[in-house]
Chain A
Amino acid sequence: MITFNDVSVSFEDAGEARTVDAVRHVSLHVPRGSVYGIVGGSGAGKSTLLRTINGLQPVSSGDVVVDGQSVPSLGRGELRELRKEIGMIFQHFNLAESRTVGDNIAFMLEAAGWESSAIDKRIDELLAYVNMSEKRGAYPGRLSGGQKQRVAIARALANNTKILLCDEPTSALDAETTASVLELLKKVNRDFGVTIVLITHEMEVIKAIADEVLVMNHGEAVESGHVYDVLTSPKSEFTQKLLAHTQNYHIPDDVWQSITGEIVRISYHGGSAVEPVITDTATKYGIGMNILHGRIEYIASRPVGVLYVNMIGNGDAVEAAKAELSARTAKIEVIKHDR
């Protein structure tokens, strides 16, 4: 659906005589109907890369191919036609404050040449889809952030768009609203087969929604692939650092001090749940295994987890248990040795 071929974007910094390389030699393929996440720190070049898809940002070199069309070589008129098939949503919603919710959506339909009789019906349909029917006549200034983003999604989909570009769509929302907006985006992807490209700086958002992910740092594509693979076995140090935020847990100092026996950190990803492995091992070697901390979550419906476990028992049994765990889980690290 979207292919980046060695795309670079640089900006002339007006003040000084230097250029900022915002995007450096990125090549990437976004399959039709997928949800593609782009994650990276501030200034990594995510927004710049995203905006090359609908030509809001011209490329300095390379090519962006959308649905068979090379975006950089399109004329003004052709680019406008392409944009009618690409919706966009933003961190700050970007609804026109001078127009009602209905009129914000109507603009898109008028611009795309819809008949005025069809426009009215389409607006009702869209607002019903995003659960905002009763707000058609309201001004955006009266809506909450989550409501605004729902309207913005309806606006972006108005012209039966094939691609939806999302620039940090949940960064201004609280956790609960974030979850509901991500749920809506997933539904849009499922119901209409819309290809979604979504930027975020939060791994949690990637986990919740993306099929594939691109990790960006300083304008470069650090690594990309299926979310499960990238998140469970990150190849680059940068990705590992990004993930560390969500996978390292702190054990309070007094708990740490008072504990006797070893503490191990078990990383687990696999087909079935992790608890049976723990209980099996504990029974088999006759040792105690207390779970101190950790979490198991599901990425692409497969469990991924980190558990901090206190192993209590005689030395040899503990060593044998560790060997067994090492064989049956992804990784086991001793983070506190027995005194």
Chain B
Amino acid sequence: MTGNISGFSALIEKAMVQTCYMTAASLVCSVVLGGALGLMMYLTAEPLFYRNRALNQLMSAVVNIIRSLPFLILMIFVLPLSKFIVGTKIGPDAVIVPLTIWATAFFARLAEASFAAVSHGVIEAYVASGASTLRVVVKILLPEARIALLKNITVTLISVIGSSAMAGLVGGGGLGDLAYRYGYQQYRTDIMLACVVILIIMVQLIQLLGDGIVARIKKKQ
């Protein structure tokens, strides 16, 4: 165990960077894609906009199918696809693809619920103004839903961190990978513990930050 301190911290640091990278990249992609999908599900369910049962149920079914797969299974299905999209089947880059698909479905449902929770009367009042749907969505629906959306982005981010840790099982890199390969397979309890503590701290910080932003908006309006 000599000379392990610098090796230890280098390992941890690399894993942390990988986890942050995977998480951030998939979060950004999934908030954009899932937000758009959630918005379309809301718009196709709402008679004031573009109610379309068939399209709505199709999107809903796709989201449900993705959400019903355990992340590990989804990853095994999707990793071959990663080779096409990002050119590799292993490592953090490869994991971003299944992680994004999974988080997109996850966030789409939450975003849809956030939009549906906006007062129907407020939306009706602004649709009745003769404004275009785009204007009502951008200037009224999104701002009215922002508190719920922010809470749900926090929830999604935390879930993505959890799922990214699972990526370790297929050589995805990151803190989960480190904990699994060193901590579990090589009985390095110290590394395992360090990984777990770092993950706990990350989740706590994110939740604190999310709650803080929400509290600031609420205080203002």
Query: Of residues B119, B127, B129, B139, which shows the largest number of chain A Cβ atoms within 10 Å of its Cβ?
Result: B129
Which residues of A have CB within 8 Å of B126? 96, 107
Q: Does B143 make an interface contact (CB < 8 A)? A: yes
Q: Does B196 make an interface contact (CB < 8 A)? A: no
Contact among B119, B135, B144 with A111 in the assembled complex (CB-CB below 8 Å)? B135
Which residues of B have CB within 8 Å of A152? 125
- Nearest chain B CB to A164 CB, angstrom units: 11
- Nearest chain A CB to B41 CB, angstrom units: 17
Chain A residue nearest to B53 (CB atoms) is: A14
Q: Is the CB of A96 within 8 A of B132?
A: no
A87 to B130, CA, bound (A): 10
Which residues of A have CB within 8 Å of B146? 98
Q: Which parts of B134-176 form the interface with A (CB within 8 Å)?
A: 135, 139-140, 143-144, 146
Which residues of A have CB within 8 Å of B130? 79-84, 111-112
Q: Does A141 make an interface contact (CB < 8 A)? A: yes
Q: Is the CB of B128 within 8 A of A96?
A: no
Q: Is the CB of A95 within 8 A of B129?
A: no
Q: Is the CB of B221 within 8 A of A97?
A: yes
A10 to B124, CA, bound (A): 20
Q: Does B216 make an interface contact (CB < 8 A)? A: no
- Nearest chain B CB to A156 CB, angstrom units: 9
Which residues of A have CB within 8 Å of B124? 56, 90, 94
A287 to B137, CA, bound (A): 74
Q: Is the CB of A80 within 8 A of B132?
A: yes
Q: Is the CB of B140 within 8 A of A107?
A: yes
- Nearest chain B CB to A112 CB, angstrom units: 7
A322 to B110, CA, bound (A): 73
Q: Does A139 make an interface contact (CB < 8 A)? A: yes
Known contacts A95-B122, A98-B146, A107-B139; is A86 also within 8 Å of B128 by CB? yes
Q: Is the CB of A107 within 8 A of B131?
A: yes
Interface size on A, residues (CB 8 A): 28
Q: Does A243 make an interface contact (CB < 8 A)? A: no
Q: Which parts of B11-66 form the interface with A (CB within 8 Å)?
A: 48
Q: Does A92 make an interface contact (CB < 8 A)? A: yes
Known contacts A56-B48, A111-B135, A141-B221; is A96 also within 8 Å of B129 by CB? no
Interface size class, chain B = 20 to 34
Q: Is the CB of A54 within 8 A of B143?
A: no
A54 to B125, CA, bound (A): 11
Which residues of B have CB within 8 Å of A107? 126, 129, 131, 139-140
Which residues of A have CB within 8 Å of B221? 97-98, 139, 141
| 1/0 contact string of A75-108 vs chain B (CB within 8 Å) | 0000111111010101010111111000000011
- Nearest chain B CB to A5 CB, angstrom units: 22
A152 to B126, CA, bound (A): 11
Q: Is the CB of B129 within 8 A of A56?
A: no
Q: Is the CB of A96 within 8 A of B131?
A: no
A95 to B124, CA, bound (A): 10
Q: Is the CB of A88 within 8 A of B125?
A: yes
Q: Is the CB of B119 within 8 A of A94?
A: yes
Q: Does B121 make an interface contact (CB < 8 A)? A: yes
| 1/0 contact string of A241-276 vs chain B (CB within 8 Å) | 000000000000000000000000000000000000
Q: Is the CB of A83 within 8 A of B125?
A: no
Contacts from A to B (Cβ < 8 Å): 54, 56, 79-84, 86, 88, 90, 92, 94-99, 107-108, 110-112, 139, 141, 152, 155, 159
11 extra interface residue pairs, beta carbon distance < 8 Å, beyond A107-B131, A112-B129? A56-B48, A79-B130, A86-B128, A88-B125, A90-B124, A96-B140, A96-B143, A96-B144, A98-B144, A99-B143, A107-B139
